[in-house]
Amino acid sequence: MKILNIAAYKFIALDSLPVLRAQLLEALETRQIKGTVLLAEEGINFFLAAPGAAIHDFLAWLQADARFCMLDIKQSRSTAQPFAKLLVKVKPEIIRMNHPAIQPLAGRAPAVDAPTLKRWLDAGQDDAGRQVVMLDTRNGFEADVGTFRNAIDWRLDKFSDFPQAVLDHQGELDGKTVVSFCTGGIRCEKAAIYLKEAGLPNVYQLDGGILKYFEDCGQAHFDGECFVFDDRRAVNAALQPCVDVGASSDKPA
């Protein structure tokens, strides 16, 4: 599998976004890397793919910038390029929630790592003895491809529907330990902050999302595959492509 696929995000204050966009576009085009980069004043979010040497060279260039030196990179392999083109966009948010009060730059909600979550799910409770509920913050069609067993799925059409869904269903979560999850961590990070601000005391985000969970814990407690927004369509618990349909999307998740 000669193509290296990478995904990462970071909430960090960015300015001069048109300049940064031009620099990233040149760096990626020079290395013939395809995929999507989203930039906003709140940070960076990207899904990219190319032969491994090009990706590693780009990451060395990117992480020479102190703002991006601590990126948590999720990696997987594929036999073919899963993206049709390269897009580098400046957006109001790197993941759209339409809720300006939610500012991950001001501090993350507590996170649970994959091995700890697996241990909780094995036991049926967290370390304090509370029932653990998994809350899928992705779109409904993503959950249809695969999700955690018995996860709560509010059938979201888009992530900006999440705040209203919390208002409609908060009673389902009262008195429980809630673990929000998504593909790579960005949506469940904003979601966990919103849940905390809504008054739920025992909320965690799954650190690194499903992709990191697969990397550390495999298939345990997960049914199906993880939907991804490119031509692979989904990856299995070994982070290998399992479906190849349609044209790629330009919406990192």
Question: What gap in Å lies between CA 158 and CA 160, rounded to an integer?
Answer: 6
Tokens, residue 237? 């618990």
Q: Are 147 and 223 in contact (CB under 8 A)?
A: yes
DSSP per-residue string spanning 26-47 = HHHHHTT-EEEEEEETTEEEEE
Tokens, residue 41? 């004043």
Owner of token pair 């025992």: 202
Strand-strand pairing, 34-40 and 43-51: antiparallel
Q: Are 37 and 24 in contact (CB under 8 A)?
A: yes
Give the burial class of 74: count Cβ atoms within 10 A of its Cβ; 0-12 exposed, 13-18 middle, 19 or more buried. Answer: buried
DSSP category for residue 49: E
Question: What gap in Å lies between CA 243 and CA 21, rounded to an integer?
Answer: 32
Owner of token pair 């995000």: 9
Active-site residues: which are they?
182
Question: What gap in Å lies between CA 58 and CA 115, rounded to an integer?
Answer: 30
Nearest CA-CA partner of 24 in 73, 53, 52, 65:
65
Owner of token pair 């048109």: 18
Cβ-Cβ contacts under 8 Å for 202 (sequence gap 6 or more): 126, 128, 130, 176, 177, 178
